[in-house]
Amino acid sequence: MSKRIDAIDLNVYYGNFLAVEGVNINIEPKTVTAFIGPSGCGKTTFLRTINRMHEVLPGARAEGKLLLDGDDIYGPGVDPVTVRTMVGMVFQRPNPFPTMSIRDNVLAGIKLNGKSMSKSDADDVVERSLKGANLWNEVKDRLDRPGSGLSGGQQQRLCIARTIAVKPDVILMDEPCSALDPISTLAVEDLINELKDEYTVVIVTHNMQQAARVSDKTAFFNIAGTGKPGKLIEYAPTQEIFNNPKEKSTEDYVSGRFG
């Protein structure tokens, strides 16, 4: 439940291209951390190293240490599949399995992990996960209908329910509201606020108000120019990043002067 994340001198490559350089960050359990910064500065790339998704692309690799409660997820003998059950991920576009029922969508991650369970245990998981994703009341009477019949915002909460179902320690979200309308966005933001009671949450967002609303701490990433690596510039309590940043480039970015 809710683990601490420490990156130590993390470099992330696509082949020979160093996309993210020298990240050092300590993320406390039961907090929400926002990653902000201009396009191409490596927010998604770094996020995907936290559950070993980055390396699924040919030639993609990470160097350095990434600790979950002190254990290096890049250590020898660590199974990336196990890491991905501890560190769940929610993507930009809601991606429920379209022909699968709402119920089966929630259970999909567990089934992928090869676990079998009784009908009543499965019912419990479905109810717990949908409640945890603030979706239960909206879908409890249509669990056997396809996930694709839900609105975009409901689909995104269904994806969050699917992530919660496997009982992760960390939830990563890559611009989870960028495809959602404002009402759905608020529903997901409310949910993020509740998720931090149980999980470590990291969210990439382009929306400054969203970062200010949902996060405890904010990490600003930047890039010196095309072809240069992205770097973590400043990481501090969110209020400080927005009201009193230490770095000039952070101030320029949060005040909308570039990016």
Ligand X SMILES: Nc1ncnc2c1ncn2[C@@H]1O[C@H](COP(=O)(O)OP(=O)(O)O)[C@@H](O)[C@H]1O
Please choose which of Mg ion, ligand X, none residue 57 contacts, taking the beta carbon within 5 to 8 angstroms, the exact cut-off set by kind: ligand X
How many residues lie near Mg ion (CB under 5 A)? 1
Residue that is written with structure tokens 């089934």 in the block:
111
Tell whether residue 176 is a contact of ligand X (CB under 6 A). Answer: no
Q: Compute CA distances 184 → 154, 173, 253, whole Å.
A: 8, 15, 26
Please choose which of Mg ion, ligand X, none residue 118 contacts, taking the beta carbon within 5 to 8 angstroms, the exact cut-off set by kind: none
Residue 155 or 205 having the CB closest to Mg ion:
205
Q: Which pair of structure tokens corresponds to residue 30?
A: 């039961």
Bridge partners for 71 per DSSP: 68
Give min distance, CB of 35 to Mg ion, in A.
Answer: 9
Give min distance, CB of 55 to ligand X, in A.
Answer: 12
Please choose which of ligand X, Mg ion, none residue 42 contacts, taking the beta carbon within 5 to 8 angstroms, the exact cut-off set by kind: ligand X
CB burial string 26-44: b at 16+ within 10 A, e below:
ebebbbbbbbbbbeebbbb
Positions in 28-87 near Mg ion (CB under 5 A) = 44
- In sign, the C-alpha dihedral spanning 195, 197, 201, 206 is positive
Q: Compute CA distances 124 → 86, 144, 150, 161, 171, whole Å.
A: 20, 15, 21, 13, 21
Tell whether residue 42 is a contact of ligand X (CB under 6 A). Answer: yes
Residue 37 or 168 having the CB closest to Mg ion:
37
Cα separation, 242 vs 220, whole angstroms: 10
Strand blocks (E) in the chain: 5-14, 17-27, 32-36, 60-68, 71-72, 87-90, 170-174, 200-204, 217-223, 230-237
Residue 66 or 110 having the CB closest to ligand X:
66
Tell whether residue 173 is a contact of ligand X (CB under 6 A). Answer: no
Tell whether residue 16 is a contact of ligand X (CB under 6 A). Answer: no
Tell whether residue 166 is a contact of ligand X (CB under 6 A). Answer: no
Give min distance, CB of 59 to ligand X, in A.
Answer: 8
Give min distance, CB of 41 to ligand X, in A.
Answer: 4
Give min distance, CB of 17 to ligand X, in A.
Answer: 6
Please tell me whether residue 141 adopts helix, strand or coil conformation. Answer: coil
Give residue number: closest CB to Mg ion: 44
Q: Which residues bind Mg ion (CB under 5 A)?
A: 44
Q: Which residues bind ligand X (CB under 6 A)?
A: 14, 17, 19, 37, 39-45, 57, 230
